[in-house]
Chain A
């Protein structure tokens, strides 16, 4: 059985959970077994995971899980995996998944590969999985040989696929100790798709000249239903909040479309965005290194190009 841990931050599944279940179902098909999803704490409509391929959903409703602690979560997933003789456990490579995956691997004596971006291949009793390494500059294939295997899935690596209807939810319980981390508060921007999950990202850099000019970037993002991001100098200068910073020291993302406005494309920035499917670069300097990593480029004054591009997208959306 393939066990998928479906995260439900603040009671809601996000796209990453549906991606993980879709991926888990495909791994289960490869191995000729079933895919079971596990959810912890308060969650709305757990049966929804059936739509993405789970044949069963296990729900441990204890609301102690609403405050995240990697220790109690890993212990619980490990118990469920053992009780159900899981051969593979799939997590999302998110803030939660990164805290849990290593713990879970130790607990289960399992081999772990985190941040995979493709379906595995079966090699006898082993699984081979690929991920991006050296900050996007190479691809590595790993072989996992343990009896039980832990895989965490990079966001936007697979598309959630509708593969059935809602399924029944089985209430489960395992007696694991309560976590020792006390969550005091959670500050997130509601109503905005977080960067690691965003399919379209509109990002801007120093070429914007100042935070007062960001209106056009936000307008463009609104037109496209995109999430806004920024380069390191912009976050360091507090023109934009830290959580918008993409690049090596910030967040690594892999959207379908990355639009870079007034960003020169230093190697540290590219390290965070070079897995984007399509990159559009707008820069007045035709020598900007970013053009070498771009699919489409516009050499021009961003203060003229961006509003024009926004109008063109609006026309496209309307028509």
Chain B
């Protein structure tokens, strides 16, 4: 079993988000960066569980600069066997997908894992792009994955419910809640992560046809208007006449 887990680095969930004065760049000053939670909690942990049950190798892959190696080492501490960093400063999903696909093409992975989306651009794009580059089936928002030989059974989140699907290896998936439980790396994991292989691969050229050109902050709320708990007719009136939502 050869499993690839694609991990992204994102600002921590609780980070205050800001941009430079003309709104063209994210302001990274004082921001704590983490492994994208869905990549870590769901994709990586499920891949490690499958390797523990069935044997094989889990490779963690990141497309990013040297500074991302702390995040990559964390993936190794959680349980990935080896890691690959495709050296670049990616600006868009198309570029990232192209890099992953070029690397994975020659490696014949059985399953390529992604988190359901990243918590920065919230696009949910890269998994589908990689699947298309590699001509593989893609199961998005998978909340459950079981393997039976070379056949996988998955549950995927759809609007208001779940869909149960079956697919033969190899394939690509994006993982959502339910796939696995978060793992805190233990001391042994952290120690062994230091000596696990982390290979650097050069990026291939790719011109993204989509670019983020302007960032802004949403208009701030006017502040909460409190209604007394025995004045619910007043709240209904406000929702009807002022907010116009009922």
Residues of A near any B CB (own CB < 8 A): 9, 14, 68-71, 74, 94-96, 98-107, 109-115, 128, 131-146, 149, 179-189, 192-197, 200, 224, 242-243, 245, 248-252, 256-257, 267-268, 271, 274, 277-278, 280-281, 291-301, 304-305, 308-309, 311-313, 315-316
Contacts and interface: CB of A to CB of B under 8 A. Distances in A.
Contact of B153 (A94, A146, A184, A311): A184
A43 B94 CA distance: 33
B228 to A, nearest CB: 8
A138 B131 contact: no
Given A106-B97, A182-B166, A295-B221, A71 B226 contact: no
Contacts, number: 276
B216 A139 contact: yes
A243 B164 CA distance: 14
| Most A Cβ at <10 Å: residue of B153, B159, B227 | B159
A167 B101 CA distance: 42
Q: Which 3 A-B pairs have the closest CB atoms?
A: A102-B128, A300-B229, A111-B209
B195 interface: no
Contact of B215 (A140, A185, A250): A140
Interface stretch (B44-52, B65-73, B119-127, B197-205): B119-127
Contacts of A106: 94, 97, 129, 132-133
Contacts of B19: 138
Interface string B12-37: 01100101000000000000000001
A266 B16 CA distance: 14
B245 interface: yes
A98 B140 contact: yes
Interface stretch (B54-62, B80-88, B185-193, B230-238): B230-238
Given A70-B138, A297-B226, A105 B165 contact: no
A134 B121 CA distance: 6
Contacts of B238: 296
Contacts of A96: 158
| Most B Cβ at <10 Å: residue of A111, A296, A297, A315 | A296
A251 to B, nearest CB: 8
B217 interface: yes
A137 B17 contact: yes
B11 A180 contact: no
A140 B123 contact: no
B130 to A, nearest CB: 8
A111 B210 contact: yes
Contacts of A250: 177
B141 interface: yes
B212 A243 contact: no
Interface of B: 11, 13-14, 17, 19, 37-38, 93-94, 97, 119-133, 135, 137-141, 143, 153, 156-168, 176-178, 208-218, 221-222, 224-230, 232-233, 235-236, 238-240, 243, 245-246
Given A256-B245, A257-B246, A305-B229, A114 B123 contact: yes
Contacts of A99: 128, 138-140
B208 to A, nearest CB: 7
Contact of A134 (B11, B143, B166): B11
Given A136-B218, A140-B215, A180-B168, A298 B159 contact: no
Contacts of B166: 181-182, 184
A304 B231 CA distance: 12
A271 B163 contact: no
Nearest to B158: A95
B236 A257 contact: no
A98 B128 contact: yes
Contacts of A94: 159
B239 A257 contact: yes
A312 B137 contact: no
A134 B124 CA distance: 13
A184 B164 contact: yes
Contact of A103 (B132, B163, B168, B246): B132
A194 B229 contact: no
Given A114-B125, A242-B143, A296 B224 contact: yes
B235 A70 contact: no
Given A105-B129, A138-B17, A271-B13, A111 B208 contact: yes
